[in-house]
A and B are shown apart, each in its own frame.
Chain A
Amino acid sequence: MTMRNGLAGLILLLAFWQASALALSGRHLIAGPAEVAQWTAAHAGLLSRALAVTGGNAAAGFVLGNLAAVALAGLALLWPRLTGLVSGLALVVFCLPLVATGPILRVMMGPGDGPQIALAALAVYYTTLIPLLAGLRAVPAAWLDLIHVYGRGRMAELRHVRLRAALPYLVAGLQISAPAAFLGALVGEFTGAERGMGVLTIRFTRALDVPALWSIAALAAAVPVAAYALIGALAHRFLDETPPVLLAPPGTARRSRRAAPVSALAVIATVLGAWWAGMRLAGLSPFFAKRPGDVLAALIWAPDAAEARQTLAGALAQTGAHVLPGYAAGLAAGAGLAVLLALLPALSALVTPLAIALRAIPIVTTAPLIVLLVGRGAAGVVVLVAVMVFFPTFVACQHGLRQAPGQILDVFRTYAAGRWRQMIHVRIPAMLPALFASARMSVPAAVLAVTVVEWLATGGGIGGLMALSASVSDYDMLWSSVVLVTLISWLGHAAVGAAERRVLTLYAPEQVRP
Chain B
Amino acid sequence: MTHSPLTRRRLLQGGTAGLALGLSGLSPHAARAQEAVALQLSWLHSVQFAGSYIALQNGWWREAGLDVSLLQGGPNAPVEPPVVAGTALVGISAADYAAAAVAQGAPFRIIGVAMQKNPFAIASLPGNPVETPADLPGKSIGMAIANTPVLQALCRLNGVDFDAIRIVPTQYTAQPLVAAEVDCLLCWETDLPVAMAIQGIEARTMLMADHGYALHSQTYIATEDSLARRRDALVALMAGEARGWETCRADSDAAAELTVAMFPDAGLDLPTQKLQARRQLPLMFSDLTERHGFGWWSDEAVEANIRTLALLGREVTPALWDRSILEAVHA
Contact = CB atoms under 8 A, between A and B. Distances in A.
Given A195-B265, A206-B191, A285-B81, A473 B168 contact: no
A207 interface: yes
Interface stretch (B16-24, B98-106, B291-299, B303-311): B98-106
A474 B105 CA distance: 10
A99 B78 CA distance: 12
Interface stretch (B51-59, B169-177, B232-240, B250-258): B169-177
A400 B69 CA distance: 55
A458 interface: yes
Most chain-A Cβ atoms within 10 A of its Cβ — which of B78, B106, B195, B264?
Answer: B78
Nearest to B46: A203
A29 interface: yes
A50 B168 CA distance: 33
Interface stretch (A170-178, A239-247, A420-428, A459-467): A459-467
Nearest to A50: B265
A111 interface: yes
A194 B263 CA distance: 9
A207 B106 contact: no
A473 B100 contact: yes
Interface in A331-388: 368, 371-372, 376
A73 B74 CA distance: 36
A204 B104 CA distance: 34
Contacts of B145: 459-460, 464, 468
Contact of B144 (A29, A110, A459): A459
B4 interface: no
A404 to B, nearest CB: 45
B146 A459 contact: yes
Most chain-B Cβ atoms within 10 A of its Cβ — which of A106, A192, A205?
Answer: A192
B77 A287 contact: no
A484 B130 CA distance: 42
B127 interface: no
A288 B173 contact: no
Given A206-B172, A472-B100, A192 B80 contact: no
| Interface size bracket, A side | 35 or more
A70 B324 CA distance: 57
B327 interface: no
A199 B267 contact: yes
Given A202-B74, A212-B267, A468 B146 contact: yes
A371 B85 contact: no
A102 B169 CA distance: 24
Contact of A190 (B77, B176, B264, B269): B77
A31 B135 CA distance: 34
Given A376-B168, A458-B169, A190 B74 contact: yes
Nearest to A208: B195
A371 B171 contact: yes
Contact of A202 (B44, B179, B196, B263): B44
Nearest to B71: A111
Nearest to B173: A205
A502 to B, nearest CB: 40
Interface in A444-497: 455-460, 464, 467-468, 470-476
A376 B267 contact: no
B78 A103 contact: yes
A168 to B, nearest CB: 37
A474 B100 CA distance: 8
A46 B97 contact: no
Interface string B56-95: 0000000000000101111111101110110100000000
A284 interface: yes
Contacts of A195: 265-266
A315 to B, nearest CB: 11
Interface in B97-140: 97, 100-101, 103-106
26 contacts: A28-B199, A49-B265, A103-B81, A106-B77, A111-B69, A191-B76, A191-B77, A194-B72, A194-B266, A199-B74, A199-B265, A200-B267, A203-B267, A206-B172, A208-B173, A208-B174, A208-B178, A208-B199, A284-B85, A287-B106, A288-B80, A371-B171, A460-B145, A471-B97, A473-B97, A473-B101
What 7 pairs across the A-B complex have the smallest Cβ distances? A192-B77, A473-B101, A472-B100, A195-B265, A190-B76, A27-B179, A288-B81
Given A203-B268, A376-B171, 15 more contacts: A27-B175, A53-B265, A192-B74, A199-B265, A203-B44, A203-B267, A206-B191, A206-B192, A207-B272, A208-B174, A209-B269, A456-B171, A460-B145, A464-B146, A472-B101
